[in-house]
Amino acid sequence: MKLTRAVLLCIPALLLFLQGCASTPKADPTPEELYAQGEVAFQKSRYETAVELWKRVRETFPEPELAAKAEIGIANAYFLNHDYIEAGAAYEDFRKLHPAHDLAQFALYRQGLASFNLITGIDTDQTPTKNALTLFESFIRQYPTSQYVARVQEKIADCRGKLAQYEIYVGRFYYRTDAYPAAIGRFERVLVDYPDYTGHDETLYYLGKAALEIRDREKGQSALTRLVREYPSSKYLGDARSLLSKL
C-alpha cells in the first residue's frame, strides 16, 4: 500500500507527539523549592500566596529548620497582611513548637503587637488591650535584655493608659446616670490599679464630684485637694477650686 505524500509528512510530527505523551511527568517541587517560591511571593507583598506555599512546605514534613522558617514566615505574612488574629495564633504556634529557637522572642514580641493592633478605642471591649498587656509583660520577664525591651515598655505604658481611660470612661457613665457609688468605686479602683497614669486629674475631679453628690464631704474634699496639689495645669483646676471654696 502506497502512502500519500501528506501522510508521510505527518509521520514525524506524530512520532514527536507520541514521544511527548510517553515522557516522564514533571516531578513535584521539593520543600526547598516551595519555600523559595514563597519567599519570592513574600518579597512582592503577595502574602496570601506566600502563606499557601509555606503551608505546603509544612505539610511535606521537611527538616526542622526549614519547617521553622516556613512557620515564622506564615506568621509574618499574616501580620504584614493585617490579619492580626491569624498572625497572633501563628506566632503562638511557633513559640510552642520552637520554644528555644532564636526567633522565639521575636515571635512573642510580634504576638503582642498583633493583639495591640486589634485595639479599637476606649469605649469598646478591652480584651485585645488586656491580651497585649499580658503578652508584653511576659516578654519583659522572659527576655529582660532583649533589643525589643524599650519598645515593649512603651507598649506596656500605652496599654495601661488605655485600660485606665476605659475605667474612667465607665466611671463617667455611672456618674452621668446618677449611679454615684458605682462611679466612686470605678474611680477609686483606677487610682489604685494604674497609679502611673498621667491623666488622673480627670479621675480625681469626677471622684470628688461623685462623692459630694452622696454628701461624702471628706472623700470629695480629699480628691479635689489632691487634684489642685498634683495637677496645677489641669483643665479641671478652676472647677475644682470652685467646689472646694463652697465646702
Q: Which domains does the chain have, with CATH numbers?
A: 29-98 (1.25.40.10)
Helix spans in 29-143 (H) = 31-43, 47-59, 64-80, 84-97, 104-116, 127-142
* Residue 172, C-alpha cell as written in the block: 463617667
* Residue 220, C-alpha cell as written in the block: 470629695
Nearest to 202 by CA among 218, 181, 183: 183
- The mean of the pLDDT values for the chain is 92
Share of the chain above pLDDT 70, in %: 90
pLDDT of amino acid 7 = 44
Mean pLDDT, residues 207-223 = 97
Measure the CA–CA gap between 247 and 242, rounded to whole angstroms: 9
**SS3 for 183?**
helix
Which has the minimum average pLDDT: 10-14, 92-96, 161-165, 168-172? 10-14
pLDDT of amino acid 222 = 98
pLDDT of amino acid 156 = 98
pLDDT tier, 28 (very low <50, low <70, confident <90, very high otherwise) = confident
pLDDT of amino acid 14 = 44
Measure the CA–CA gap between 47 and 78, rounded to whole angstroms: 7
pLDDT tens for 109-159 read: 999 999 999 999 889 999 999 999 999 999 999 999 999 999 999 999 999
Give me the amino acid identity at 106. Answer: F
Whether residue 13 has pLDDT greater than 70: no
Mean pLDDT is highest, among 11-15, 23-27, 219-223, for 219-223
pLDDT tier, 24 (very low <50, low <70, confident <90, very high otherwise) = low
pLDDT tier, 5 (very low <50, low <70, confident <90, very high otherwise) = low
Rounded-to-10 torsion of CA 75, 98, 139, 152? -30
Whether residue 8 has pLDDT greater than 50: no
> CB under 8 Å to 12, separation ≥6 — which residues?
none
pLDDT of amino acid 25 = 62
pLDDT tens for 36-83 read: 999 999 999 999 999 999 999 999 999 999 999 999 999 999 999 999
CA angle 159, 87, 110 (to 5 degrees): 50
Measure the CA–CA gap between 96 and 107, rounded to whole angstroms: 10
At 174, phi and psi to the nearest 5?
A: -60, -40
Burial class of residue 195 in the structure, from the number of CB atoms within 10 Å of its CB (0-12 exposed, 13-18 middle, 19+ buried)? exposed
Number of H helices, E strands in the chain: 12, 0
Identify the H or E element spanning 214.
Answer: none
> CB under 8 Å to 13, separation ≥6 — which residues?
none
pLDDT of amino acid 27 = 78
Nearest to 36 by CA among 49, 17, 21, 23: 49
